[in-house]
Structure 1
Amino acid sequence: MAGRIDARLEQLGIVLPEPPVPVASYQPYVISGNQVVIAGQVTFLDGKLRHVGRIGEDVSVEEAEAATRLCALNVLAQVRAACGGDLDRVRKVVRLNAFFNCTPDFRDHPRVMNAASDLMAEIFGEDGRHTRVGVGVNSLPLNVPVELDGTFEIS
């Protein structure tokens, strides 16, 4: 029987991807006590990078929003794996951190970050509201426009 969050995902028409495999020497998630910390997720889908480039140069704000949403879906795929497939174990989205590969004059960090924040609230309701950090950087691994990580309270 599908859980409450699985039903919500279906209602929203959201299919979580398979969790991307690490591309370097790290764990995709670590559980410590009642928290799961998700490593930085990039724009992989089905083993391929879907978005590359620098925001404000090769990547529009709209594409950056789509890239951020994909990163958020990958974060959730890792959370699902950490919870043995049961997203109903998520009690609270605690914090999201985003790094944006962008030009020095880019200023729309909050707008682009909302793609992840709004998704968490859509899926988890009030429990999806979280703290966050979104910062611009001059490069990211694999030349992706966004890298997103997160911390979740679980049961």
Structure 2
Amino acid sequence: MILLALRVSLFSSIFLLSGCRSAFQPPPESFERWKKDGASVQYVIAALLECGYPWPGPTVDQWIAVYGPNWEANKLLAMKCMESKGFVEKYDYGSIAACRYYSYAKTQKYQTEEQNLAIAKACHPDTPPTVPSVERRLSSRYCKTEWASKFSECQPAVVPSVKK
């Protein structure tokens, strides 16, 4: 009986530990969430920055630093921009799903009325996406960092879209 209990305990421990390897992974970077056939990582990052993403990672503090309290509405417009460029969000969390979430979040009252209005405007089907801009990409917080300024996605020339 004790041997059976030890086996069950050992099996349960191994099962739980093996499941935990992927359960506590950090969220993927923004550039890992968007896909387009044949798009290189540099092309995806350049598109994100041109569409208004302040950083190619998932950092909320970068969004808040650039856009202030209405950062979520600006992120929705940037998501619409990525979709208009032919990108698809890998995890089915594109602008439509995000708008559904914000519609629900509105009922939870964690946002101000001003934020809710900005999000509602961004989610309206007639609201155009952010217009991609090379100037926005080059002047982004990301490209202004010393280490990233040397990367191809932070150069004025067109970033190749083909995977290498």
Bin of the TM-score, shorter chain as denominator length = under 0.3
Bigger Cα Rg: 2
| TM-score, normalised with respect to structure 2 | 0.27
Please identify which structure carries the higher strand content. Answer: 1
The normalised TM-score by structure 1 is: 0.28
